[in-house]
Amino acid sequence: MSKWHDFLDDQIEVRPDALALTDDGGATWSFAEFGQAVDALAEELRRRGARACDRIMIVSENCCAAIAALYACSRIGACAVPVNARQTGGELARIVEHARPTLVLLTTAASPDAVKHAEAMEAEELNGKFGALHIAAPFASDPDADLDDVAVMLFTTGTTGTPKGVMLTHDNVRFGGMTSANLRGMTPDDVVYGVLPITHVFGLCSVVTAASCAGAQVRLEARFSAARLYEQLQDGVTLFSAVPQMHALLMQYAKEQEVDGVHDCALRYTSSGAAPLDPAWKRKAEAFYGVPIQNGYGLTESTAGVSASSNELGDPDISVGTALPGVAVKVDETVEGGGDGVGEVLTAGPHVMKGYYRNPEATAEALQEGWLRTGDLGYFDDQGRLHIAGRSKELIIHGGFNVYPPEVEAALNDHPQVIQSAVIGRTVNGDELVYAFVQAAEGDLPDVDDLAQFAAMRLAGYKRPSRIIVATGLPAAPTGKILKHRLLDHFADRLS
Task: Give residue limits of the domains in the chain.
Answer: 6-171, 224-391, 395-495
Helix (H, G, I), strand (E, B) or coil at 392: helix
* Structure confidence at residue 81 (pLDDT): 98
Q: What are phi and psi of 91, to 5 degrees?
A: -65, -40
Closest CA to 201 of 136, 258, 157: 157
The tens digit of pLDDT for each residue in 416-455 reads 899 889 998 887 776 788 999 999 988 889 999 999 999 8
For the chain, give the number of residues: 496
Q: Determine the Cα–Cα distance for residues 419 and 252; give it in Å rounded to an integer.
A: 8
Long-range contacts of 382-386 (CB under 8 A, 24+ apart): 384/322, 385/307, 385/309, 385/317, 385/319, 385/320, 385/321, 385/322, 386/297, 386/306, 386/307, 386/319, 386/320, 386/321, 386/322, 386/323, 386/329, 386/345
Assess if CATH 3.50.50.60 describes domain 224-391: no
CA-nearest of 253, 252, 302 to 274 is: 302
pLDDT at 160: 45
- DSSP, collapsed to helix, strand or coil, labels residue 303 as coil
Task: Name the helix (H) or strand (E) containing 144.
Answer: none
Statement: 395-495 belongs to CATH 3.20.20.70: no
Number of other CB atoms surrounding residue 261 within 10 Å: 14
| The pLDDT value given to residue 411 | 86
CB 77 within 8 A of CB 89: no
The CATH code that applies to domain 6-171 is 3.40.50.980
What single letter denotes the amino acid at residue 434?
Answer: V
C-alpha 371/C-alpha 384 separation (Å) is 19
Report which secondary-structure segment, H or E, holds 120: helix 112-120
Residues in the chain with pLDDT < 70? 138, 157-162, 274-276, 392, 399-402, 430, 479
Task: Say if residues 194 and 218 touch (Cβ distance below 8 Å).
Answer: yes
322-331 residue pLDDT tens: 999 999 999 9
User: Which pLDDT value is given to residue 276?
Assistant: 66
Looking at residue 272, its pLDDT comes to: 85
Find the radius of gyration of the CA atoms of the chain.
22
Amino acid 44: pLDDT:
97
**For residues 14 and 29, what is the distance between their CA atoms, to the nearest angstrom?**
16
Select from 409, 394, 398, 422 the least CA-distant residue to 459: 409
Rounded Cα distance between 335 and 205, Å, is: 31
Q: Which residues pair with 468 in a beta bridge?
A: 436
Q: How far apart are CA 181 and CA 206, in angstroms?
A: 7
Domains 6-171 and 395-495 share a fold: no
SS3 198: coil
CA distance 99 to 166: 11
Three-state helix/strand/coil letters over 400-465: CEEECHHHHHHHHHCCCCCCEEEEEEEEECCEEEEEEEEECCCCCCCCHHHHHHHHHCCCCHHHCC
In whole angstroms, what is the distance from residue 369 CA to residue 31 CA?
A: 42
Closest CA to 298 of 288, 308, 289: 308
Helix axes 448-456, 405-413, angle to 10 degrees: 120
126-135 as b/e, with b when 16 or more CB fall inside 10 Å? beebbbebbb
C-alpha 285: how far from chain center: 20
